[in-house]
Amino acid sequence: MIEHKRTLAGALALAVAFGVAAGIRPGDAAVAAEPVAVSAADAPLRDVLHRLTTLDGAPGALVETHGRRGGAVLTSGVADVDSRTPVRGDSRFRIGSMTKPFVATVVLQLVGEHRVALDAPVGRYLPDVVRDHPGEWRGVTVRRLLQHTSGLPDYLDFLSPQEILTDPLAHHDTRDLVDLALDRPRTFRPGHGWEYSNTNYLLAGLVIEKVTGRPYGEEIRRRVIQPLGLAATTVPGDDPVIPGPHPRGYVRPGKDAPLMDATAINPSVAGASGEMVSNAADLNRFLAALVDGRLLEPAQLREMMTTRPAGDDRAYGLGLERRTLPCGGHYWGHGGDIFGFQTAGGATLDGRQTSVMVNLDPGGTDAQDDDIRAAVEAGLCGGRPGGGASR
């Protein structure tokens, strides 16, 4: 999930009373440790991480960069506000909407296999969904799902954080989540606007399942995770446990409220829009393989990288964003947020990748958003926010 952090944070202010019932335990209001860097040359990037865990208020942060001359792993702050254990560089975390590029990749592989047509109506693949919701579906195509131009409302607008936190381990059926959105009017005529909607990717996951006869997560494992050797990446389904080393994930229900531990949550509430778990090394490997054409044929990669403006200096393709680098050129990537974690990652076409994680969401500040992006860009610019080169 992404784009709803502020809404979730506002609603969470009403959900503090549910903390005990939800099994979410309070933590310290803010805890930060000195950043750990591997090289003095990484000082600008280290400074961004330190801001994230002091001024911005996240308990912990990490960044991993890879480039033509090697890479670096930097951490700041703590993984657990009670034990004050430091963040490990190999930490796994929930990646939220960074799940979307994985889903889009599988759909585009199916396009390359002539099993899915990008401009086919969604009803061709999901006739039962269309039949159950007789609203105007004309123009809702697979492409428009992947590019957020379908006009379908976001199911998260109709699912309150209180409902999730009251029973964080509850299973959420994908069709029930889709129904939350599809019972409401469209936000615009398909193809005549752009608005981020997690409903689009729940439907994209259903398309994968209908075409292949297998769960979308199994297709991601078979087509992406296993070929790339992404040992720390999982599609958990109903499993609330983050396997392997990981920080606690926290939410802050109000500006001055104490942190609340939301590490254990059933990720089916996000499904194909944002349920996956990974680490920074795996995300960098995935982004590198995606942009250099190891996962998609040239025709499908061109489709993925055909963008439209999406505001805030970004252009959105098919599950992949393009942003401008301060050191010149641009990069491709995505961001993600889900209870407990906020992430972002990017890659350039000349072989550089950076992924960032903090263990606070929702409840972060606008400065946290800005500094996560700044960390990605500093990493891609060689640690120098205004230096380096790109193409």
**SS3 for 117?**
coil
Reading phi first (left if > 0) and then psi (alpha if -120 to 50, else beta), residue 154 is in beta
**Cis bond before residue 35 (omega within 30° of 0):** no
E-strand spans in the chain?
60-67, 70-77, 92-94, 250-251, 260-261, 277-279, 308-309, 314-316, 321-324, 330-338, 341-347, 353-358
- Among 132, 106, 70, CA closest to 201: 106
Q: Are 378 and 268 in contact (CB under 8 A)?
A: no
Is 97 annotated in the active site?
yes
- Among 383, 380, 384, CA closest to 324: 380
Q: Are 88 and 75 in contact (CB under 8 A)?
A: yes
Active-site residue (options: 97, 150, 197, 278): 97
Q: Which residues pair with 338 in a beta bridge?
A: 341
Whole-Å CA distances, 375 to 48, 57, 76, 325, 357: 6, 16, 12, 11, 10
Q: What positions carry a catalytic annotation?
A: 97
